[in-house]
Amino acid sequence: MKTTLLQFEPTYLQKTNNLDRVERLLDPGGVLDADLVVLPELFATGYFFRSTDDALTVAEEARDGETTRRLHQWAHASGATFVAGLVEREGERLYNSAVVVTPRGWLGTYRKVHLYYQEKSHFQPGNTGFPVWTVTDRKGHAYRLGVMICFDWYFPESARALALGGADVIAHPSNLVRPDCPRSMPIRALENHVFTMTANRVGAETNGQESLKFIGQSTICDVHGHVLASAGPEETALVHATFEPTEARNRRLNAANDLFADRRPDVYTPLTAA
Ligand code: ACM
């Protein structure tokens, strides 16, 4: 199937302008033919909120807010499934979330489990676990799609939980600031035998006191940990790769070893100790 990431620089709090810009960037020739498109974390709002009030002004309901409605328009028009980050509001609570939107509409929401730095001042830690959805490509072939967001990469348990949950592909909307993710995601892909798609942003943002610089380098990895396609650290770019997601399902390494069957959860108890 054909997959695409968009790497770009959103403008802080300019949600409608950012959505318009993404629409233009995604489909310059009117021929978006990807089966799966991944956009960055908080792609339409900016990231480094100066206050929770700022975050509230761009927050929305995940199922049917402005961003999800636009994603649905794009999915419906192009036939692609989209994974993209947004500020989710549920009652008084905010979550750093990503939605999965197919040509038929909203399919599900993942709420970021591992909050980074000042995110802890604005967002609740995610409570969705690591869900995996069955999605079809435009030929009607089913595959299993899991989602994690940015800093989740630092916790190998995230990708492991998604792979154990049956994910063939991990979509990874990001606003990366730490330098190590581009060399870590190939290993997440390798050790779990999954495809990974990290869609990062570029540019910098300040919250008034300090600035964060985002590192770009959006990357698609195959199940062997090879980089199939990537972008540079500063450019606005579409990144494309074609792969067969069901390749992720054979985790046999040789006649004696299977990556998942050989796991020993009985001796991994420290992993789940509080
Ligand atoms: C991050 O998790 N956005 C650094």
Q: How many CB atoms lie within 10 A of CB 169?
A: 27
For residue 28, the model assigns a pLDDT of 67
For residue 256, the model assigns a pLDDT of 98
Q: Work out the mean pLDDT of the chain and round it to a whole number.
A: 97
Helix and strand element counts for the chain (H, E): 6, 14
Write the pLDDT tens digit of every residue in 123-174.
999 999 999 999 999 999 999 999 999 999 999 999 999 999 999 999 999 9
For residue 74, the model assigns a pLDDT of 95
Write the pLDDT tens digit of every residue in 19-40.
999 999 998 666 789 999 999 9
For residue 77, the model assigns a pLDDT of 93
Report CA(253)–ligand 1 centroid distance (Å).
33
Pocket mutation for ligand 1, best pick of 39, 41, 43, 86 (most atoms within 8 Å of C-beta): 41
For residue 217, the model assigns a pLDDT of 98
d(CA 85, CA 40): 6
Strand ranges inside the chain, DSSP E: 2-7, 36-38, 81-90, 93-102, 105-111, 132-136, 142-147, 169-173, 195-199, 202-206, 211-215, 219-221, 227-230, 237-242
d(CA 161, CA 168): 12
Residue 2, class by beta-carbon neighbours within 10 Å (0-12 exposed, 13-18 middle, 19+ buried)? middle
Closest C-alpha residue for ligand 1 atom 4: 176
Write the pLDDT tens digit of every residue in 80-124.
999 999 999 999 999 999 999 999 999 999 999 999 999 999 999
For residue 95, the model assigns a pLDDT of 98
Over residues 50-62, mean pLDDT: 98
Residues with CB under 6 A from ligand 1: 41, 116, 150-151, 175-177
Record the tokens describing residue 57, joined without a space: 């002004």
Q: In the structure, what pLDDT confidence band is assigned to residue 78 with cuts at 50, 70 and 90?
A: very high
Active-site residue list: 41, 112, 150
Over residues 229-242, mean pLDDT: 97
d(CA 234, CA 138): 32
Residue 116 CA: nearest ligand 1 atom is 2
